[in-house]
Amino acid sequence: MLSRYFEKPVKWTSDRLEDLSSTSQGFDEIVEATLGLDATEVCRARAEVIGDVGAYSIYPWTAALEPVQVVSFLSGPYKIENYRGRVRGVTTSKSPTGPYRGVGRPISTFVTERLVDMAAQKMGIDPVALRLKNVVQPDEFPFKTASGIVWDSGSFVECLEGARDAIGYEKFRAKQTESRKSGKLYGIGFSSYAELTGIGSRISVAPGMPINTGTETATIRIDSAGGITAVFGVASHGQSLETTLAQVVADELGARLEDIRVVQGDTADIAHGTGTYASRSAVLAGGAGTLASRAVKEKLIKIAAQLLQVEEADIDLSDGIATARGTNNTASIKEMARAFYSEMGRLPKDLIDGLEATKQYDPFFGTTTSATHVAVVEVDQETCRTKLMQFVVVEDCGRIINPLVVDGQVHGGVAQGIGAALFEQMRYDDVGQLITASLADYLVPSAPEIPPMEVHHVEKVSPTTLGGFRGMGEGGTIGAPAAVVNAIADALSHLGIQPTELPVTPDKLFHLIQKSNEGN
C-alpha cells in the first residue's frame, strides 16, 4: 500500500526485537501419543496434536501446514499397521506459525523416536535392534503408511546399520559402562526418519493449495560466443544452487562447468517459479535443467554432425567438445554457436530453431529421503549441562551432485536441530508478552556447542525422479533433536528420566533430576 501511495519502491527493515516479536515461528505443538507393541513389533499408535498457530494464517501455506505435517508423519519409517491421529489448530495472540526447516517433521520424529526408545527400555530390548525389527525393509517398497503417505523407496535399514557401525555402537556401550564407575555420564541416542521430498503437482494440489508448487521451469540458452546461460525459477539462499545446478547442466549438455552462468529467481528471465523450500530444488530444478539441457544438446549434435560430415549417431559431446567417433575431427560449442549465428551457409537453413530450450518438470508425487542420526553426549549431573561429544549422520539423498554441498547442508541442518534440542525457545509471560525478544534471551548454538560431525552417504538412486535425486535440505533439522534428547535420556537412564519437551535446557534438566531424586 505504501509503495502504491508514494509510487516508488518501499523497503522495510526490522530490528531484532521487531523480527522476533512479529515474524513467523515454528515448532509449537503439544502432542499426546502412545505406541503399542506386540512382543517386539510395533502394531499400533495414537496421537492427539494441538498446534498453536498464532494470530493469523500465512499465505499460501495456511495455519494448518505445521500441525498437519506433525500428525501425518508420526509413523515415520516404521511399519505401524494401525494408527489414529487427530489434529487441532488453536488461534492465539502469538506470532503466526509458518514453515521452518523441517516443517512439522522434527516434532513428529522427536515424538516417535522418543517413544521407540522408551518402549525399548521398558521391554528390555536394545533400541537399535527394536528399530531394525520395525523399519520398512528393502523388499517392502513402495510402502504406504497408515496415514496414507507412500514411501516410494528408501534406505531405512542401510542408514540405521551404517550409523550403528560408524559410531562403534558396541564399543561405546562398553566404554559407557566403565565411565559410569568414575561418575561420567555418557549417553547415545539414535533417530531414524523418512521424509517426502521434491514433491510434485499431485501432492501440492491435494490440500487445495492456491498456487502451483509442484513444478519448476528451466531455460538453457547458448549465445553467439558459446556462453551458456541456465535460468531457473528457484533461488539459492545459501545452499550452493549456483554450483549444483551448473553441474547438472554441464553433465547433461556435455559442456564445461566454467562456461555456464546460472540465473535464478528473476521474473524478467523465467516465466514461472515458486522458490526454494520443501527440499525440492535439486529434484525439481535439476529435473527441469536436465530436460532443457538434453533438448539443447540434441540441437548441438545436429550442428556438429553437419560441420564434421558424419551421422548424428556418430557424435560424442562432452567437456564442450563434439567429436566424430572414430576420427580426430572435433568442433567446440563455441565453434558450433559461431556457425549457427554468424557463418551463413555452413548449415542448412532449417536445421534447428535456435540454440535455446525451455522445459518444465513435474515429479508428480515426489520421492523419499531417509537418514539415521546418532548423538553422543555427556551430561554433568551437577551443572545439568549437556555437552555434545560426537554426531554421526548416515543419509540417502539419492544421486549426489556435489558431496561437499551435501555435507554442508547436513552440518547446517544438524546445527539448527541442536538449537531446537538444547537452546531455542520463545517464552511468553502470563499476559502474552514475549520475554525472549533479543539474542541475549533467545539463545542459539555457537561454534563451541556444535560437535565434530561425521557424514556418510548411502546414495541409492531414486527410481521416481529424473536424475535419481532426492531432496535433502531439511534432513539435518529433522533428525537431530530426537537423537540429542534420546542421548540425554540414555545418559540419565539410571535415574529413570525421560525428557518429553523441547528444548532440554539446564533448568528443565535440573527439575527433572530433582524430581527423580525426590521420588527415590
* Residue located via cell numbers 558396541: 170
393-429 burial: b if 16+ Cβ within 10 Å, else e? bbbbbbebbbeebbbebbebbbbbbbbbbbbbbbeee
Same fold, 22-200+364-519 and 215-361: yes
Chain centroid to CA 398: how far?
12
Determine if the peptide bond prior to 445 is cis (ω within 30°): no
Annotate 126-191 with DSSP letters as a single string: -HHHHHHHHBPPGGG-SEE-TTS-EE-S--HHHHHHHHHHHHTHHHHHHHHHHHHHTT--EEEEEE
Provide the residue ranges of all domains of the chain, joining segments of one domain with +: 22-200+364-519, 215-361
Given a contact cutoff of 8 angstroms between Cβ atoms, the answer to whether 115 and 36 are in contact is no
Q: Which residues of the chain have pLDDT under 70?
A: 205-209, 520
SS in 3 state form for 385-441? EEEEEEEEEEEECECCCCHHHHHHHHHHHHHHHHHHHHCCCCCECCCCCECCCCCCC
Looking up cell 517386539, which residue turns up? 40
Radius of gyration of the chain, Cα coordinates, nearest whole angstrom: 26
Residue 191 CA to residue 109 CA, distance in Å, equals 8
Please answer whether residues 278 and 199 qualify as being in contact, where contact means their C-beta atoms are separated by less than 8 angstroms. yes
CA-to-CA distance for 481 and 487, rounded, in angstroms?
A: 10
Residues 231, 266: Cα–Cα separation, whole Å: 8
CATH no., domain 22-200+364-519: 3.30.365.10
Task: Output helix, strand, coil percentages for the chain, rounded to the nearest 5.
Answer: 35, 25, 40
pTM across the whole model: 0.94
Distances (CA, A) of 5 to 8, 12, 415: 8, 15, 43
pLDDT at 208: 67
360: number of Cβ within 10 Å: 16
CA dist., res. 193 & res. 206, Å (int)? 23
Cell numbers 531424586: residue: 517
Beta strand 385-396 pairing with 453-457: parallel
Residue type (1 letter), 11: K
Cβ-based neighbours of 479, under 8 Å, separated by 6 or more: 109, 191, 192, 193, 371, 372, 373, 393, 414, 417
CA distance 300 to 307: 10
Phi/psi at 388 (nearest 5 deg)? -80, 125
Q: Which residue has the cell 566404554?
A: 175
CB atoms within 10 A of CB 353: 8
Question: Cα–Cα distance between 155 and 48 in angstroms, integer?
Answer: 29
Q: Coil, strand, or helix at residue 323?
A: strand
Phi, psi of 178, deg, nearest 5: -65, -40
Bridge pairing between strands 216-222 and 228-232? antiparallel
Closest to 70 (Cα-Cα) out of 36, 42, 28: 28
Question: Given this model, what pLDDT does residue 39 score?
Answer: 84
Give the per-residue pLDDT at 202: 83
Q: Which CATH class is domain 215-361?
A: alpha beta
Report CA-CA distances (Å) from 473 to 75, 102, 146, 276, 495: 21, 9, 26, 10, 37
Q: What is the pLDDT of residue 26?
A: 87
pLDDT digits (tens, 9 = 90+) for 357-371: 999 999 998 999 999
Return the DSSP state at 469: B
